[in-house]
Structure 1
Amino acid sequence: MDFATPRHHQQHFLLKVIKTSCQTKFVETPPYNLIHFVELVWKNNKNLITTPVLESLVLSICPTAPTEYDVALKKKDILYLWNLLKHIGHYQTGILNTRILNQLIGFFRYMGKGRMIVGGYSFYGYIWDKGKAALDVFHKFEVFQCVPNQDTYIFTLQAICGIDYSTDVLQQAASICQKMVLQPDTLLPDDGKILGRLLTWFSKNNMIKEAYALYRAANEKRKRNPNWGLELDRLLPHRIFEFDTLCSRKETVYLALDLLTVIDIHKEVEHKEEGTKLSHCRKVITALCQFKDFDAAKQLIFKMIADGPLQRPSKEVFNVIIKTYVDAREIGQALEMVMLLESIGLHTYDALTCGNGSYYSYMTQAKEILEEAKKKDSKLIVALLYHMLIVDCDFKQNYDKALKLLTEMKDFGLQSIWMNITN
């Protein structure tokens, strides 16, 4: 090329060479030669390398819909191309744009993972990994002052999906997901198949928080865009509804808590998982109690009692939290649950006899706590404990014992408090 000719003619000629180099298989210029040609131009006259030139080069090497031929023969060329683009991008700020980088990442989606030895350009023994290559390009957006868009995020995650990765790569994928969730209207995929695949991949890698956050963001987008026709509930993978898995970890038990009221679990359970909302509620309450979040467990019971999508709590549900409160010596809270239980038509005896503990052990413990409460002059707690014991005697038709307990209450000055409790 004669570099003495006017610059715009040179640039036009360069574009023409690139665009015609891959028009047919018969006259196609090998990608390596084309990249090498552009590299020589860059070394001799950097002013000739413009954004349109690089766009044309990338589109020629990385077609939007590549064939098997493209994918099989161009791995080493893609690496060569990306290395050249990085060199140019670091030298001249602003010459690379979002379209160029997206075209690269988009091509990576179609490429597999394997060992490749590339001679002549510092790639000896390089292990090709489309996911890590896509992440490498993704992290250069800020460096090259390019603004990532919807395609950027989707293409990057698609390149990662389907391959087992280290914790570091999974964390990077989680970070990308978080950024998408912050701007759902512009960054979330509109294609149900793509969204479903991302949800499944996150779930498969035990990234339930990311999968659920992605679902919630998509759900919010649907609310703001009624014409957005995705059937989101059908896209949710089965693993999202495995409450045993969610409740086994403190980091995910609150997702299970949220799922109880946000998603129509009953509809999903009919097809995918045995049990009911009530069994899920019991699992969540049990987990919350194990993780010592008694307040969250109690609030869930309040929600179950109130009118809403959840079923009313059973005696087994109450037993879980009452036993936990008793074991933690939170007697006031335990008795509050006892009174709440009776207020919806269940009986203290029912709650105390179900579960792992025996009736005798519970009542023995109640009597021990009663003696402690008397010493501390906790009159309300003492009255509630007496009430629990009296209800027990009444249930067993031990009326003499019940009258004796009533007399003890009167002698202890608790009859008026007990009347307020039972009325």
Structure 2
Amino acid sequence: MLARTDLRGRTPSTAELRAALPRGGVDVDAVLHQVRPVVDAVRERGAAAALDFSEQFDGVRPAQIRVPQAELDRALAELDPAVRAALEVAIERTRKVHADQRRKDTTTQVVPGGTVTERWVPVDRVGLYVPGGNAVYPSSVVMNVVPAQAAGVRSLVVASPPQAEFGGLPHPTILAAAALLGVDEVWAVGGGQAVALLTYGGTDTDGAELAPVDLITGPGNIYVTAAKRLCRGLVGIDAEAGPTEIAILADHTADAVHVAADMISQAEHDVMAASVLVTTSIELADAVDTALAAQLEITKHKERVTAALSGTQSGTVLVSDVEAGLRVVNAYAAEHLEIQTENATAVAAKVTSAGAVFVGPWAPVSLGDYCAGSNHVLPTAGCARHSSGLSVQTFLRGIHVVDYSESALKEVSGHVITLSNAEDLPAHGEAVRLRFEALR
């Protein structure tokens, strides 16, 4: 079923690998012309424009942008107890992992009387986007809110699309998850208009302020991504997220049923989702194709999964050995990478490019999506080569504090003056010299 790329007996360069490997993607540039008027309208008319676009795109016009506290409380009270218990486990484990990520301020004594301190200061106000669409994502509320709270962010607002089915409110499970985390500000707005409103702020229908944010995080569709690109600079963003992806490095020891199930679990997100198997075993590749065919007959979202698995972004890559497979997966830089080989822990230690690595047969990606404690907002489309997933660091800014005494500055003043003259910026040197010499 899966298209195959046979690299056995070959040692392609990194550039050749990047060109040869299956890869999905979206052309954000192609929709910028559609999203720019949305952003411009929200900048000019604020919440009124956002509500107009909600009516146009979501088929419902909320009574107001901000969800009343009573609706948050009601959603939590009516939440299925089993879902609540599962969310509480996810929150507990995610908090445990992210609490250990908080950086501490460090002070370095460069010379006697001269110190540089790096302070880690949280972003003041953050907008956390939680998508609607094919699925409901309370887990994304957890993954965005927990690290922001661990960083000490003062003000959080969750934005999620209004749902006609629920009277213009976001999905009640999203509201319940926010309430469970102690978030009391949720906006019923989605798409590019949500990003724009988070960026520029506005006035709600009841006259209340919708304060702009400093940073926007969270996944979304191509229109959300385009709006992030247009607003970047006015606000910070976490990433331009593309379709989700999984790569699995497997050898003859892997269970084909497990591999197929994990590939389907990612493919059910979206028709553009990517599922890539990199294996040393043609027998495993054949067995995975057989298992995929069998499991597709009973999967709920068969059409969506079939479209994703048969797309150019998915496939099987045959390699000569595990070392060759490591070169492939490091070049691919998957959002999610599973290692299902002999000595999986040792193999995983050689991975240099991945959003998250899942080691062995008992750590499937779906564990990380919900209850591993790790974060599931991860770099896509090969961006794991240079970027990290969402973490506490996303919500922190490093500020250098320079504290030098008179003697410490005097000791280095000659070097400052020399370097300023070397760069033809003599006033830089003068700013130091005039502290020790009278103006001639």
TM-score (norm 1): 0.21
Larger proportion of strand: 2
With CA pairs under 8 Å and 6+ residues apart, which has the higher RCO, 1 or 2?
2
| Structure 1 or 2: more helix by fraction | 1
Which of 1 and 2 has greater Rg?
1
